[in-house]
Structure 1
Amino acid sequence: MGIASMIFWIIAGIALWVATDFLLGRKQHLANAKKYAFPDRYSDLEIFAKGPELFEDLFSEITNARQHIHILFYIVKDDKLSHEFVSLLKEKAREGVEVRLLVDWIGSNLKRKTIQSLKAAGVEFAYTHIPKPPFLFYSSQVRNHRKITVIDGHVGYLGGFNIGDEYNDHDPKLSPWRDYHLKITGEGTLDLQKEFLRDWHCASKVNLLQNKAYFPPLPKGTIRQQFVPTEGDSLESLIVTLISESRESIIIGTPYFIPSKKVFDQLNAAIARGVSVTVLVPYKSDHILVKEASYRYLRSLLKDGAEVYQYSKGFYHAKVMMIDDNICDIGTANFDKRSMFLNYELNCLVYDPFFIKKVKHILTEDMLDSHKASLADFRAGNLFLSFKETAARTISFFL
């Protein structure tokens, strides 16, 4: 057998293994995915769109913690902000506060030495979604993309920010970083605590869900909201339902616009029945090929009469969808196939008109800091760009 033939069969074998691994892994994933939703709650919500303001508030609440701190992030970098974050957690653990830190195995950049120092200080640490056989490739693609913080069972956070210098406006290419993150007080914090402890149980095999110490009595807030967790199985149907119920307007803000066919068909149907559709995406990109993967969808929407804005003041990373000014969806899920079919996500549906008005004001500000796109902005100008768009389409499920 010649070298060329050998290389061909090796590549073919790897491709067959990957395809089989993915198909069987996906089947197992769907069989094991838990479908549940939390009830409507009344909470008080505050929204942060700037990293420095969020981290000042978050770190202050952590500093004031007296009983327990539960934190899940997809990414914790190894940089200045991360070192400050880690030092604060160790300090609280040494004071006798229970501290649990859960991070995604692929997303996190924590060094082994840092993890050892956390454990030595008394912080309980665990990785979530460690790839494992028999479906190594598929399990490496399924990630916990949630960002949850619960402090003393009273104060919670959820949204798009992770822990790293770029999120705190210290990246020369992407700053300022624009994102939306919620601070939750009131009875909705109960559900954030449950979701964290479910993920903690899955990762650490320690079940704390029955411990009443983590669920103090909580007052009702003023804003009706509902947390919706998804496990790579039901986000698509949630988005389809929300879009299908629209009658006047849809606003989508996302760093990655790579919808599924069902979702895109619903957007087209909404435009056809007279619904105004507006999409806000970043002009800059933080990952390879994600912009090119969105071009075919954005071109189609523009041709049908939608408006597309490219945020140009920095990098836009928010995850938001607003339907008719009646429902606002803010959370951790991107408007892409990875969030719909692979990642574990957590979104918050908000039904309060005054809070929705506040979010719409922020969206309007971001559109003013954006370039209103035309078809020419998404046309491939040369053979290389056409190749990138084709490649992006091929692997769009994994971007």
Structure 2
Amino acid sequence: MLEYLKDNYWIILLILNYVIAISAVITVVLKNINPTKTLSYIIVLVFFPFFGLLVYYLFGQEYRKNKIFSRKHVLNQSIIKSINQELEFNKNQIRKIDDFLDHKLKLVKLLYSNKNSPLTLCNEVDILKNGKTKFEALLRDLNNAKNHIHLEYYIIKDDKIGSKVLDALCKKATQGLKVRLAYDDVGSDLSSKMKQKLNSSGVEHYPFMPVLFSSLTGKMNYRNHRKIAVIDGEIAYVGGINISDTYVNYDDNHVYWRDTHLRLVGEAVKSLQIDFFTTWEFVSNQKINIDERYFPEVTCKNEVAVQIAASGPDTDAPNIMEAMFMAITTAENYVYITTPYLVPNDQMITALQVAAKSGVDVRILIPKQSDSWVVKHATNSYLERLMDANIKVYRYTKGFVHAKTMVVDDIFSTVGTSNMDYRSFNINFEVNAFIYDAKTSKILKNYFLEDLECAEIVEPERWTNRPKIEKLKESYCRLWSPLI
């Protein structure tokens, strides 16, 4: 018997693989999910033995139904309930904001149906263009912190800029402030020496969903892609810029990095604080008693309407995707989108096509050179279909555009961590700020038009006649689009 097993172990393993694969195929079919995604899983499971099972294990689980972590303990605390009640709008307030939000009120109600996305009016919003501007402001606010500092980042490294930020955290912790740092274990890279320094200084820090070999796992995980900083419960940062030299255009950087971030002061900070606490309880495995010091009173200097929408396997619905979908489908004049990764699902493709065909000026800016071979070709496979609907596609040539922004009709805009792809909409933990303000929208619109000066438009006729080998690469990579 042992001799037989030894001589035929590959055949036995292959049979075992297909027994499990057939079971997985039946499970996928019975879930009645998107047909394209279903076929992608079937192809991978049937034609890629062993590897297909790994892909299914990493991507095939429906974590939105079986949540990775629960938000209930945080949301059920009395202080959080009080904050959410405080941010709730009555009918008179709804009528007040209806005048300047116009038809975008439907978007507000869509996000508001998720009780963790209240609309806040008392806010100041600063748009931070590129890493240098973001880090100058962030370091200043960190050094001026008086009570606590909360950071949650996909990427944080102890390189030049990262060390400056981490040193500021250590300094504040030694002064007696409560400093908490949550970082994604795949995206981040902290040396043991820096971790030791954080420990000795009193900075509490935990990785999000630790993995054994982070350098080998790449994107094949459910990762925390959020970039949140909350300082004293009064100031918050959110956007596309991680903490790494890559995001700062130092003289020795090989690629110019174009990115966008937000600095928020006001009521919207409270929503980001709540989102941080839900993550912190998960990574630290601590039940925190949250008190009033984390939610200080807000003095209203400006009235900029902001909603914070978090999305991921911990939420009941793909909040960010649904909000973007409605913003596009209700647009009347224009939709300008910047995204480094464009691998849209069917819903987003339809929304963009319908908007463009109805006369809305739809423009999308993507990088000419991507940092992912598969994503680049998968993106290219969608361009012809978009351009057929009169959507203008531009490719950024100055460097790498990493900003994740959308501006609609001079009244609505969003800046955050979510790309326009399957991973951001369905797999990763993301967070976006949705802003209803003419001034902010016009600034972002002008930045978009400035970026187009450093971009080339994709000509539909020339694109259609691109080499067949490129089309073959695109078709191959597109097969993986629901999974990457």
Q: Under a length normalisation based on structure 2, what TM-score does the superposition of the two structures give? A: 0.75
> How far 1:315 sits from its partner (Å)?
1.3
Tell me the SS of whatever aligns to 1:210.
coil
For the pair shown, which has the larger CA radius of gyration, 1 or 2? Answer: 2
Q: Distance in 2 between matches of 1:48 and 1:108?
A: 23
Alignment of 1:1-399 (within 5 A): 12-16=49-53, 18-19=55-56, 22-23=59-60, 25-26=61-62, 28-32=63-67, 36-41=115-120, 42-130=122-210, 141-170=221-250, 172-175=253-256, 177-208=257-288, 210-220=290-300, 221-232=302-313, 233-234=317-318, 235-375=320-460, 378=463, 381-382=466-467, 384-399=469-484
> How far 1:381 sits from its partner (Å)?
4.7
Would the alpha carbon gap of residues 83 and 283 (structure 1) be closer, same or farther in structure 2, given more than 3 Å must change?
A: same
Identity %: 31
Q: Is the 8 A contact 2:424 2:430 kept in 1?
A: yes
Q: Which amino acid aligns with 2:310?
A: P
Q: Distance in 2 between matches of 1:126 and 1:66?
A: 22
How many residue pairs are counted as aligned between the two chains?
392
> Cα RMSD over matched residues?
2.6
Would the alpha carbon gap of residues 174 and 8 (structure 1) be closer, same or farther in structure 2, given more than 3 Å must change?
A: farther
Q: Which moved more, 1:181-190 or 1:139-148?
A: 139-148
Tell me the SS of whatever aligns to 1:397.
coil
Q: Distance in 2 between matches of 1:391 and 1:3?
A: 32
Q: Distance in 2 between matches of 1:217 and 1:15?
A: 52
Q: Which moved more, 1:381-390 or 1:161-170?
A: 381-390
> How far 1:36 sits from its partner (Å)?
4.2
Could you list the per-position Cα deviations for residues 104-149 of structure 1 after superposition, in whole angstroms to 9, with x for gaps in the alignment?
Answer: 11111112332222112110001123369xxxx9x95211111110
Tell me the SS of whatever aligns to 1:322.
strand
Would the alpha carbon gap of residues 381 and 269 (structure 1) be closer, same or farther in structure 2, given more than 3 Å must change?
A: closer
Q: Distance in 1 between matches of 2:462 and 2:434?
A: 32
> How far 1:181 sits from its partner (Å)?
0.4
Q: Which amino acid aligns with 1:273?
A: S
Q: Which moved more, 1:251-260 or 1:386-395?
A: 386-395
Q: Is the 8 A contact 2:404 2:419 kept in 1?
A: yes
Would the alpha carbon gap of residues 355 and 71 (structure 1) be closer, same or farther in structure 2, given more than 3 Å must change?
A: same
Gaps of 5+ in 2: 1-6, 18-47, 72-113
Q: Is the 8 A contact 1:174 1:284 kept in 2?
A: no
> How far 1:77 sits from its partner (Å)?
2.2
Q: Which moved more, 1:367-376 or 1:6-15?
A: 6-15
Q: Is the 8 A contact 2:413 2:441 kept in 1?
A: yes
Could you list the per-position Cα deviations for residues 51-85 of structure 1 after superposition, in whole angstroms to 9, with x for gaps in the alignment?
Answer: 11111111111111121111111001242211222
Would the alpha carbon gap of residues 200 and 390 (structure 1) be closer, same or farther in structure 2, given more than 3 Å must change?
A: same
Q: Is the 8 A contact 1:197 1:207 kept in 2?
A: no
Would the alpha carbon gap of residues 338 and 22 (structure 1) be closer, same or farther in structure 2, given more than 3 Å must change?
A: closer
Q: Distance in 2 between matches of 1:381 and 1:273?
A: 28
Would the alpha carbon gap of residues 237 and 65 (structure 1) be closer, same or farther in structure 2, given more than 3 Å must change?
A: same
Q: Is the 8 A contact 1:144 1:343 kept in 2?
A: yes
> How far 1:18 sits from its partner (Å)?
3.8
Q: Distance in 1 between matches of 2:253 and 2:211?
A: 33
Could you list the per-position Cα deviations for residues 221-258 of structure 1 after superposition, in whole angstroms to 9, with x for gaps in the alignment?
Answer: 32111111111541332222222211221111100111
Could you list the per-position Cα deviations for residues 159-214 of structure 1 after superposition, in whole angstroms to 9, with x for gaps in the alignment?
Answer: 00001111011363321x11110000122111111111111112112244622111
> How far 1:383 sits from its partner (Å)?
5.7
Q: Is the 8 A contact 1:250 1:276 kept in 2?
A: yes
Would the alpha carbon gap of residues 22 and 54 (structure 1) be closer, same or farther in structure 2, given more than 3 Å must change?
A: closer
Would the alpha carbon gap of residues 31 and 6 (structure 1) be closer, same or farther in structure 2, given more than 3 Å must change?
A: closer
Would the alpha carbon gap of residues 21 and 86 (structure 1) be closer, same or farther in structure 2, given more than 3 Å must change?
A: closer
Would the alpha carbon gap of residues 208 and 78 (structure 1) be closer, same or farther in structure 2, given more than 3 Å must change?
A: same
Could you list the per-position Cα deviations for residues 289-309 of structure 1 after superposition, in whole angstroms to 9, with x for gaps in the alignment?
Answer: 222111122222222211111
Q: Is the 8 A contact 2:59 2:483 kept in 1?
A: no
> How far 1:379 sits from its partner (Å)?
5.4
Structure 1 residue ranges (4+ consecutive) displaced by more than 6 angstroms after TM superposition: none
Q: Is the 8 A contact 1:380 1:386 kept in 2?
A: no
Q: Is the 8 A contact 1:236 1:260 kept in 2?
A: no
> How far 1:2 sits from its partner (Å)?
7.0
Q: Under a length normalisation based on structure 1, what TM-score does the superposition of the two structures give? A: 0.90
